[in-house]
Amino acid sequence: MTKAKIGVLVMALLEDDYNKTAHMRPQATAAAQEIADALAEYGDVVHAGLVEEEHQAAAAARLFNAEDVDIIVACELAYTKGLVPARCFLDTTAPVLVWNTQKIRRLGESDGFDVVMLNSGMAGMPELTAVLIRTGRPFSMITSHWDDPDGRRRIRETIQAAAVRRRLNEARVALVGHHFEGMTDLMFDGLSLRQDIGPVVWPLEPEKVAVRFGEIPQADVDALVAAEKTKYAVEMEPALFERSVRLALALESVAREHSFDAVTAFDQVWLTDPRVGIIPSYGTGRLCEIGIPAAPEGDVNTAVAQLILQELAGTATTLENYVIDFDNEAVMFSHDGHGNPAMGTPGGVKVKHSIYYSGVHGFGAGFEYAYEPGPITNLALVTVGEGRWRFVISEGELLPFPPRGISAPQTLFRHEALPIAEWCDAWCQAGATHHMGAARGGWTSQLLALADMLGIEAVVV
């Protein structure tokens, strides 16, 4: 999970030809440092010190650029001429969060001008935000009292989104083979993805994995076989499980060699290759478990959605719509053989041979388990025509669900408010794909902030 680098821009007009409050500089400098210290809870701070004049704002911009900050948090202790923040904003490109805050809840009857000076940032806020609007610079804004927990939560979530934006902009996604033929919602423009979302998609020849399959030391295979048998109930032929483990280690080895941050493969690509000859569901699920998000069927967009959610939640998986449960106002999510076992119900994960895809060496291993019940966030990254990207986001709960014998991870999802028929209508009408990324917890606020920073649409179902 990426740690954000936060540029801190704290401003106040203390002294010019007309204003004569330079005696407040020590207090204002200390207040600026206090803001920087508070933000350090959410990432690594790059503090420009107290900024009063244009040349200091220009220096702040150079500092933020040199440190490659993920977000600039701008505050005013007191009114500041608009050209001061403009000098910084015009020379930088990082997302901007305007924090309109003050230490006091109200002005007391005995409070004098010095108290006003350190708590009157609202005086300059309209001018600061107008600069951003007039120069076409997107920004987020949070007005809150210094100690307001909700305000601090919103600040944390916005900064988290900025960290994910950095991660996306540096990410490399491996596409092994091609997307599953005929699946229109898996079709995408790789250059548009790079420009608008961030990751680069790099073709990975299936041959590389097939060759690496034969190069994995037997000792490594034996060690992982033994380790997995202590973690999971392995219910399949030993030789076939060993072949699946070898393929899993080959996938990991190639992914790490090429510094891939996520992987997606046309799973059937090795079925007819006598060197491999099985489906890789166990191996792609294991990639998810060890922190390399993997999506099935060459679904690049879902691999990216998983990467986003992993950055927020620490672990993520792929889910697919299956069967509506009208009686329980829910819908079954699953995917044949593939899923993140780290999100399964503890003690309930099985490794079984696939019942879906047979290769020249038979049915390869996959997972069967129920996802652990609890809050969940679903994210579909979709294209909606005319070069536009969209997040489709939904939160709800995974219900207890005794796993059926279908050689697949599975769960039952209930939306937090909507009847399931209305949820299905809204999910489809928003343009969601038939796959989605999913992660435990509630992450809508961060995803909306990220969409705003990326300049793309977001629909919350």
Q: Where are the domains of the chain?
A: 4-169, 171-460
Alpha carbons within 13 angstroms on the beta-carbon side of residue 439 total: 27
**Displacement of CA 30 from its chain's centroid (Å):** 35
CATH fold of 171-460 reads: L-fucose Isomerase; Chain A, domain 3 (3.20.14)
* DSSP designation for 182: T
Q: Tell me, what's the pLDDT at 116?
A: 86
Name which of 205, 214, 298 is nearest 250 in CA terms.
214
Q: Say which residues have a Cβ less than 8 Å from residue 86's Cβ, sequence separation at least 6.
A: 57, 131, 135
Q: What is the dihedral of CA 36, 41, 43, 46, to 10 degrees?
A: 10
Work out the pLDDT band at 41, boundaries 50, 70, 90: very high
- Which segments of 274-384 does DSSP mark as H helices, in order? 281-289, 300-313
In 3D, which of 398, 423, 309, 451 has the Cα closest to residue 1? Answer: 309
CA distances from 154 to 48, 118, 142, 404, 458 (A): 23, 23, 7, 41, 18
Q: What is the pLDDT of residues 288-332, one digit of tens each?
A: 999 999 999 999 999 999 999 999 999 999 999 999 999 999 999
For the whole prediction, is pTM greater than 0.85? yes
CA–CA gap between residue 325 and residue 321 (Å, rounded): 11
Q: pLDDT tens digits for 205-258?
A: 999 999 999 999 999 999 999 999 999 999 999 999 999 999 999 999 999 999
Distance CA 321, CA 72 (A): 39
Question: Looking at the predicted structure, is the pLDDT value of residue 111 above 90?
Answer: no
H/E element, 190: helix 190-196
The pLDDT assigned to 256 comes to: 98
- Give the helix/strand (H/E) hosting 362: strand 362-370
User: What fold is seen in the domain 4-169?
Assistant: Rossmann fold (3.40.50)
- pLDDT grade, residue 103 (50/70/90)? very high
